[in-house]
Structure 1
Amino acid sequence: MIQLFRRRLGPRMSHSSYKSLEFFSANDIDHSFNTAMSIPTTASEYYLPKIGSHEDLALRTKKVEQPGASDVLVKIHAVSLQFRDLIIATGSYPVPAPPDLVPGSDMAGEIVAIGQDVKGWKVGDRVSANFATDHIYGDPTPATQRTTLGGAIHGVLTEYRTFPAHSLVAIPSHLSYEEASTLPCAALTAYNSLLGPVPVKAGDYVLVLGTGGVSIFGLQFAVASGATVIATSSSDEKLKIASKLGAKHIINYNKTPNWDEEVQKITNGVGVDHVIEIGGIGTLPKSINAIRLGGHIHIVGFVSKDTSSTNLIMNTILKAAAIRGILVGSVAQFKDMNRLLSANPETTRPYIDKVFPFEEAKQAYSYLASQAHVGKIVIKVSKD
């Protein structure tokens, strides 16, 4: 209650001043009590009691923490999954995680309580947290890497969580919580790839490998920027979806194993300007063949079955190195991306394959592992 009254009366009032509430109408006091009572004292969250498989995920009850002076408490409505979540659960991710890790990096929710020093946010605001909570602008640093959600620090697969206020970004008003939960990692990674230091421009050719979350967002951002998109997949059905989303050329790499040569034909022997490279060592040689002289390969994953040099690809990503390893993005980029989303609401609307209830988080992980999806997989955390 003190926290809510402090927000209303101002941070400089003494503790004893809160005893004098004659400034309030009865409705004001009732509203404050109702708001406070709406925040439970305990909540459910998933954690990994051991590393080995996503099947090890377990539910536990935690105490809902009150926000510190510079923090906010968020009721999480939706969480989207990444390939990273799978490899963290199996122990294949090279960054050490804290014991009993709460997984998940991507969320959308509403602010339900605010620390006394927080400015610019209010109860009821709809927000997402950045992938690395302290990566505000510029290049990543060792310090910001130590604040990556669901990896270096506990994540978001929980009903309530506090976040530092500086890590939050308002979500576009036209998106649902489920749609907005897909933005912090997949969307921002694609945005950083194509609209980072060397922005895609109208008339460019963009090659996206596969139809997962980052690739689909890359397709959408490229189309919104006026580029021509070439999409690959092993599934004709998935390629039909890519076409509907704006891909001008589609290649089934099972039917056309030398897909790099097909890309060269499509571009009249010039090659593409940008590649969203998600396969890793198994696809990188062909991506290099498909790129134009001076083109840009954006390495964001290693989902191909060739795992002979997985560490090479992961180290490229973690170093954010060129041939450009993409380590998600900053709060500043997140805000810029949301302007693009709001300016092109239909072209860039997140493509969600399936939404699972909170109780079926393991099934959501299994569906992600099957690679049967197109776009994003979301877990609906809140029932209201």
Structure 2
Amino acid sequence: MNAIILAQPAGLENLKSTDLVDPGAPGPGEIRVRIHANSLNAHDLGVVTGRLRTEDGRIPMSDGAGVVESIGDGVTEFAVGDAVVSTFFPYWLDGGPTLADFSTTPGDGVDGYAREIVVRPAQWFTHAPRGYSHAEAATLTTAGLTAWRALVVDDALKAGDTVLVQGTGGVSIFALQFAKLMGATVIATSSSDEKLAKAQALGADHLINYKRDADWAAKVLEITNGRGVDNVVEVGGPDTLGQSIRACRIGGHIALIGVLTGLVGQVPTGELMRRQQTLQGLIVGSRRHQIDMIRGIDATGVKPIIDSSYPLDEIADAFRHQASGKHFGKVCLSF
């Protein structure tokens, strides 16, 4: 079977196409899946560029979607022909988080889905949403589930709430879509008027270009009549967190899902305390969260926004496009 491996030292030039031995038939409790799509995430980019260290010869990509080709003894949840999508934490099935690293995450601590066939325990996958293409399903593993957990699991978003989404990457666009489905008002920020117009077409109620409005927290307070938003989907990290705290209402929720501006920085703890806000760090979610999200998707019919799709052997070009920041929504591999 064809696969992509990452040779060390990591770098896009060291993503190599190779032939691997077919993994064969599934054992007890396992399924054999023909992979047809991956989606690219900031985490994957960190792995392939060497910012996140992994083993020599690692198969990248945490998100994989495809079709069940055969099942092992004891598997009852899936049948041959089912469309399935991978999970980010294969052993976090339910309950609260138990991991603070990526040692079990495909494409990082273990081999991922940039390959044609995998044989894995059935619990590593869930059913894909009805009517989804494989590329659409692949967007859910990381980006979709992160947005779902930030709004639904950790914050119990309800109709009438106001949500601030930063930028127009995969998580932020999913958060915009989920929030609008649930009856929330959405404020979107970006440095691009073109991207803001696309966000508005998806339902964003208020738009802020943070290049023009550098004090975007003040703009949020103006929009909300001084109250602030109920939930901030915080992707920037240290350089944006201070403004997010100011933009969030007293007693509001800030979901820290990204650190695009750095891993370490100052936190205005006094203001966070005075405003009595919840600052929740999170990394994706559990298998149960994913199953619940897909039930919600099946009930509403919402579809992800795919910016572009590349063949597997053009994976380096796909990552270059992602790294350029020119995309709106998700970048995928389809094969």
Shorter-chain TM-score: which interval?
Answer: over 0.9
User: Partner residue of 2:7?
Assistant: 49
Shift of 1:168: 1.4
- Is the Cα contact below 8 Å between 2:146 and 2:285 reproduced in 1? yes
Query: What runs of 5+ residues in structure 2 fail to find an aligned partner?
Result: 268-277
SS at match of 1:139: coil
Amino acid at match of 1:309: V
1:329-368 superposed matches below 5 A: 329-345=285-301, 348-368=302-322
SS at match of 1:141: coil
- Is the Cα contact below 8 Å between 1:47 and 1:60 reproduced in 2? yes
User: Partner residue of 2:222?
Assistant: 265
Which of residues 188, 205, 210 is equivalent to 2:167?
210
Query: What runs of 5+ residues in structure 1 fail to find an aligned partner?
Result: 1-42, 313-321
Shift of 1:174: 1.8
Shift of 1:145: 4.8
Shift of 1:198: 2.3
- Is the Cα contact below 8 Å between 1:136 and 1:167 reproduced in 2? no
Matched, 1:274 2:228: no
Larger Rg belongs to? 1
> Partners of 2:158 and 2:113 in 1: how far apart?
35
> Over residues 174-223 of structure 1, what are the superposed CA-to-partner deviations in whole Å (9 max), with x where a residue is unaligned?
21111111001000000000001321111111000000000000000000
User: Partner residue of 1:69?
Assistant: 28
- Is the Cα contact below 8 Å between 2:102 and 2:108 reproduced in 1? no
Which of residues 147, 150, 157 is equivalent to 2:107?
150
SS at match of 1:324: strand
Matched, 1:117 2:74: yes
For the aligned residues, what is the CA RMSD?
A: 1.7
- Is the Cα contact below 8 Å between 1:231 and 1:247 reproduced in 2? yes
- Is the Cα contact below 8 Å between 1:51 and 1:89 reproduced in 2? no
Report the count of equivalent residues. 324
1:249-260 superposed matches below 5 A: 249-260=206-217
- Is the Cα contact below 8 Å between 1:131 and 1:148 reproduced in 2? yes
> Over residues 255-287 of structure 1, what are the superposed CA-to-partner deviations in whole Å (9 max), with x where a residue is unaligned?
111111000000110110001111111111111
SS at match of 2:236: coil
User: Partner residue of 2:152?
Assistant: 195
> Partners of 1:179 and 1:212 in 2: how far apart?
15
Please, what TM-score do these two structures have when normalized by structure 1? 0.81
Matched, 1:88 2:34: no
User: Partner residue of 1:37?
Assistant: none
User: Partner residue of 1:135?
Assistant: 92
Shift of 1:101: 1.0
Task: Specify whether residues 198 and 363 from structure 1 end up closer, same or farther in structure 2 by C-alpha distance, changes over 3 A only.
Answer: same
Aligned structure 1 segments of 4 or more residues deviating by more than 6 angstroms = none
- Is the Cα contact below 8 Å between 1:212 and 1:376 reproduced in 2? yes
> Partners of 2:284 and 2:154 in 1: how far apart?
13
Amino acid at match of 1:299: L
Task: Specify whether residues 310 and 163 from structure 1 end up closer, same or farther in structure 2 by C-alpha distance, changes over 3 A only.
Answer: farther
> Over residues 66-120 of structure 1, what are the superposed CA-to-partner deviations in whole Å (9 max), with x where a residue is unaligned?
2221111110011000011111122222xx5333111101111001121122222
Amino acid at match of 1:340: G
> Partners of 2:11 and 2:58 in 1: how far apart?
13
Matched, 1:376 2:330: yes
> Partners of 1:173 and 1:354 in 2: how far apart?
22
Amino acid at match of 1:64: D
User: Partner residue of 1:283?
Assistant: 240
Please, what TM-score do these two structures have when normalized by structure 2? 0.93
Shift of 1:143: 9.0
> Over residues 339-369 of structure 1, what are the superposed CA-to-partner deviations in whole Å (9 max), with x where a residue is unaligned?
1111211xx3100000111221110010000
- Is the Cα contact below 8 Å between 2:149 and 2:284 reproduced in 1? yes
> Partners of 1:187 and 1:326 in 2: how far apart?
13
> Partners of 2:32 and 2:55 in 1: how far apart?
21
User: Partner residue of 2:270?
Assistant: none
> Partners of 2:73 and 2:149 in 1: how far apart?
33
Which of residues 60, 69, 72 is equivalent to 2:18?
60
> Partners of 1:327 and 1:265 in 2: how far apart?
31
- Is the Cα contact below 8 Å between 1:48 and 1:101 reproduced in 2? yes
> Partners of 1:151 and 1:104 in 2: how far apart?
8
